[in-house]
Amino acid sequence: MKSLIQTGLSAAVSGTIVSFATTAALALLARREGKGALQPTNATSHWLYGEQAASVRRGDVAHTLVGYGTHHASSIFWAFLFELWLASRPPRRGF
């Protein structure tokens, strides 16, 4: 069974990959809808700046950094729970 440190490191890697991939996908979808590419990331800062955060089209420190940080942290949190679940299961053999 993995240690908590190994689980945390695995979650940091997998969570970071998911965070980058989903941020890119959301940016592409936003552009396809005629919105700013950073609007989905900025919208995540609504917990601090209110619902108007979703209408911010350009990158700025207040909305984009807070929004991405929130998204990234949540990706690692959920990856950690998933990695804990994986570690608790018996190893799979072959296909």
Distances (CA, A) of 17 to 1, 29, 76, 83: 23, 18, 9, 14
State how far the Cα of 92 lies from the Cα of 95, in Å rounded to an integer: 8
Residue 89's pLDDT is what? 87
> Whats the size of the chain, residue-wise?
95
Examine residue 71 and state whether it is found in any structural domain, yes or no. Answer: yes
Examine residue 94 and state whether it is found in any structural domain, yes or no. Answer: no
Examine residue 92 and state whether it is found in any structural domain, yes or no. Answer: no
Query: Which domain covers residue 48, as residue numbers?
Result: 4-87
User: Between the CA atoms of 54, 58, 60 and 65, what dihedral angle is there, to the nearest 10 degrees?
Assistant: 60
Mean pLDDT by 10 residues, the chain (95 residues): 89 98 98 97 97 96 97 98 91 77
**Model pTM greater than 0.75?**
yes
Examine residue 14 and state whether it is found in any structural domain, yes or no. Answer: yes
Examine residue 27 and state whether it is found in any structural domain, yes or no. Answer: yes
Tell me how many domains the chain contains.
1
